[in-house]
């Protein structure tokens, strides 16, 4: 055999060996994952006769537990916000739970989510049981107003002597890139319906427009008033006195104690000493125990719309609500599946979304309208932290809409457009050439601005979408043209404000929405069932294994973990 032949044979054997090794390693990884999934499938715990229930409010408690095997392995999908609130309320009357102990430095919850959990904590406190909140510093990142509001749901707040209470108020800020884009030769072609729809202003302007600023100031005023009022009430402090302290914050531990913001200065081990005679059960363990019930015949289906609304399948590329994508295909399929179940007597659709695709939102709206008409099933929408634009559009398919006072909603409007990179290409010496058939074939090309005819066509499409959106809102909410105009044009509202303009029917939590669904369905005994049914860990593993490329999936997950937790950790939703 020639030297070339020997070399070719060696390379061939090496390649075959490497592929075989890769196959063995992949099989080994899969086998380990199967064993791991079997071993860590949660089991219902056996609880002691008396114990302390412990919850860590620094954890990222999500709207709904992510159905993702990698997320499960990372211990980030144990329970949802609904699970947590239900467990706390259940614990209020559970004789086994002697005391509730929480830890909080900086919460990931948004304003409306904080309100919902505060309700649950207040229910526990009103039951006459002790509850302690421990913090090294309230608002570890410097923004602690919302965190302190959550902490006030506990009977006592314990603060480390060297800590502080950072109730500095709240603010909203946004970057504006218009000047930068101009410097690098990028021009913008964005249009909105109408003046309050400011989604593209960060690229087309250097500051907020007067309309958007007015809208944001109105929201900030209302949220601030809600937080001050409820926090002062929970801590038995005058609202004016609390506002004065906000304007003096950040406050040292000593000053916080002197002014009644905290009850005791101590280190964590001192609180541990206080409950040393009680076994400690974590909230996730308790949730597994509390959820171990027999499903009743009558069901209320709970369907989540969580994250940016998109066409196709839902996707959770990272471990948090801020980066979730709500796929219209999955959501509409869940709606129809629930409607076909004869035991389902009502549907509650829980929306926590800033909006997204208009056509995808329209598909969800249509599915709700269809099941109401065809199956005569009542539908109630529960608005979470945010249910705006397309999120609100989906909600109007419900018979009734329930929002928390701090829910961000409305934004009945539309914007769209594109950027042109033509000036940038000229600056760096890149030229583009093309051929085309059809006058508007290049309409959405990023290498040129709209022509006058294209701009006209694009703006007409925005008018059509706005007209469709507003007509459906007017019909669903029974608004006159004048009332609709005051509620639309892109304006954003808190839930409390939305109630006054007719966009929602009632203020309340997810529990309130479920109770309303029960009332509309005229049922008593029922169980709340999530659709689609949550997958077991083995099912998640099988789904993961059957994905097209396990190795790239692992890499993608690790990359998104790095992106979200190290490089660009999302800021608190209220600062």
pLDDT digits (tens, 9 = 90+) for 368-412: 999 999 999 999 999 999 999 999 999 999 999 999 999 999 999
91 and 130 assigned to the same domain: yes
Q: Name the more confident of 293 and 24.
A: 293
Of 102, 121, 117, nearest to 52 by C-alpha is 102
Q: Which of 289, 315, 349 is the last residue of a domain?
A: 289
CA–centroid distance for 311 within its chain: 18
Q: Which of 289, 315, 348 is the last residue of a domain?
A: 289
314 and 284 assigned to the same domain: no
Residues 6 or more apart from 547 whose CB is under 8 A from it?
A: 553
The reported pLDDT for the residue numbered 349 is 98
Q: Is the distance from CB of 410 to CB of 493 less than 8 angstroms?
A: yes
Question: Does residue 189 sit within a domain?
Answer: no
235 and 347 assigned to the same domain: no
Q: Is the distance from CB of 156 to CB of 130 less than 8 angstroms?
A: yes
The reported pLDDT for the residue numbered 518 is 96
* Total tally of structural domains belonging to the chain: 2
Q: Classify the C-alpha dihedral 547-551-554-559 as positive or negative.
A: negative
Q: Which of 244, 271, 289 is the last residue of a domain?
A: 289
Full residue range of the structural domain in which residue 116 is found: 51-172+208-289
Place of tokens 């990884």: 29
214 and 344 assigned to the same domain: no
311 and 360 assigned to the same domain: yes
263 and 323 assigned to the same domain: no
Give this prediction's pTM: 0.85
What are the tens digits of pLDDT across the range 152-180? 999 999 999 999 999 999 988 889 999 99
285 and 300 assigned to the same domain: no
Highest mean pLDDT among 30-39, 54-63, 162-171: 162-171
The reported pLDDT for the residue numbered 318 is 46
Question: Does residue 377 sit within a domain?
Answer: yes
Question: Does residue 120 sit within a domain?
Answer: yes
Question: Does residue 22 sit within a domain?
Answer: no
The whole-number average pLDDT for the span 505-519 is 97
pLDDT over 80 (residue 341): yes
Question: Does residue 452 sit within a domain?
Answer: no
CATH number at residue 231: 3.90.226.10
pLDDT over 90 (residue 477): yes
The reported pLDDT for the residue numbered 77 is 46
What are the tens digits of pLDDT across the range 532-550? 876 666 665 665 555 544 4
What are the tens digits of pLDDT across the range 89-114? 999 999 999 999 999 999 999 999 99
56 and 134 assigned to the same domain: yes
The reported pLDDT for the residue numbered 141 is 85
249 and 352 assigned to the same domain: no
261 and 328 assigned to the same domain: no
Question: Does residue 44 sit within a domain?
Answer: no
Question: Does residue 321 sit within a domain?
Answer: yes
228 and 353 assigned to the same domain: no
The reported pLDDT for the residue numbered 564 is 32
Collapsed DSSP state (helix, strand, coil) of residue 299: strand
Question: Does residue 448 sit within a domain?
Answer: no
101 and 214 assigned to the same domain: yes
């Amino acid at each position: 055999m020639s030297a070339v032949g020997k070399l070719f044979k060696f390379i061939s054997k090496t390649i075959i060996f490497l592929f075989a090794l890769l196959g063995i390693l992949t099989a080994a990884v899969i086998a380990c994952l199967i064993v791991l999934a079997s071993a860590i499938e949660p089991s219902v715990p056996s609880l002691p006769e008396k114990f302390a229930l412990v919850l860590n409010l620094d954890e990222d408690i999500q709207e709904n537990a992510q159905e993702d095997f990698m997320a499960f392995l990372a211990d980030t999908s144990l329970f949802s916000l609904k699970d947590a609130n239900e467990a706390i309320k259940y614990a209020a009357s559970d004789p086994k739970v002697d005391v509730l102990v929480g830890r909080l430095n900086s919460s990931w919850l948004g304003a409306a989510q904080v309100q919902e959990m505060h309700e649950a904590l207040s229910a526990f406190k009103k039951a006459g049981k002790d509850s302690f909140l421990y913090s090294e510093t309230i608002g570890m990142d410097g923004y602690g107003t919302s965190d302190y509001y959550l902490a006030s749901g506990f009977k006592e707040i314990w603060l480390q002597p060297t800590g502080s209470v950072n109730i500095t108020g709240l603010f909203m800020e946004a970057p504006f890139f218009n000047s930068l884009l101009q410097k690098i030769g990028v021009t913008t072609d964005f249009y909105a319906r109408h003046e309050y729809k400011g989604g593209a202003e960060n690229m087309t302007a250097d500051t907020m427009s007067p309309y958007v600023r007015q809208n944001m100031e109105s929201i900030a005023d209302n949220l601030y008033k809600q937080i001050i009022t409820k926090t002062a009430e929970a801590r038995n402090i005058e609202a004016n006195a609390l506002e004065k302290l906000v304007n003096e914050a950040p406050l040292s531990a000593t000053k916080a104690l002197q002014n009644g913001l905290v009850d005791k200065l101590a280190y964590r081990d001192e609180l541990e000493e206080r409950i040393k005679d009680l076994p400690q059960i974590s909230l996730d363990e308790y949730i597994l125990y509390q959820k171990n019930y027999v499903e009743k015949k009558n069901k209320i289906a709970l369907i989540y719309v969580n994250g940016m609304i998109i066409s196709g399948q839902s996707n959770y590329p990272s471990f948090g609500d801020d980066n979730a994508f709500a796929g219209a295909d999955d959501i509409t399929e869940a709606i129809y599946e629930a409607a076909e179940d004869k035991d389902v007597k009502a549907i509650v659709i829980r929306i926590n979304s800033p909006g997204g695709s208009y056509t995808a939102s329209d598909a969800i709206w249509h599915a709700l309208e269809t099941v109401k008409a065809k199956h005569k099933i009542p539908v109630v929408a529960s608005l979470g932290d945010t249910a705006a634009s397309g999120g609100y559009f989906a909600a109007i398919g419900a018979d009734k809409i329930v929002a928390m006072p701090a829910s961000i909603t409305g934004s009945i409007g539309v914007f769209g457009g594109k950027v042109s990179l033509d000036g940038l290409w000229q600056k760096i010496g890149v030229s583009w050439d093309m051929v085309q058939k059809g006058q508007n074939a290049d309409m959405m090309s990023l290498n040129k601005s709209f022509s006058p005819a294209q701009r006209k066509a694009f703006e007409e499409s925005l008018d059509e979408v706005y007209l469709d959106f507003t007509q459906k809102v007017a019909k669903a909410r029974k608004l006159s043209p004048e009332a609709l105009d005051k509620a639309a044009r892109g304006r954003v509202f808190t839930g409390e404000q939305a109630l006054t303009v007719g966009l929602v029917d009632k203020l309340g939590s997810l529990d309130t929405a479920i109770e309303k669904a029960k009332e509309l369905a005229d049922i008593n005994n029922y169980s709340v069932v999530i659709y689609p049914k949550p997958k077991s860990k083995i099912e998640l593993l099988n789904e993961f294994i059957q994905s097209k490329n396990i190795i790239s999936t692992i890499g993608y997950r690790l990359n998104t973990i790095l992106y979200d937790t190290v490089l660009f950790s999302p800021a608190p939703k209220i600062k």
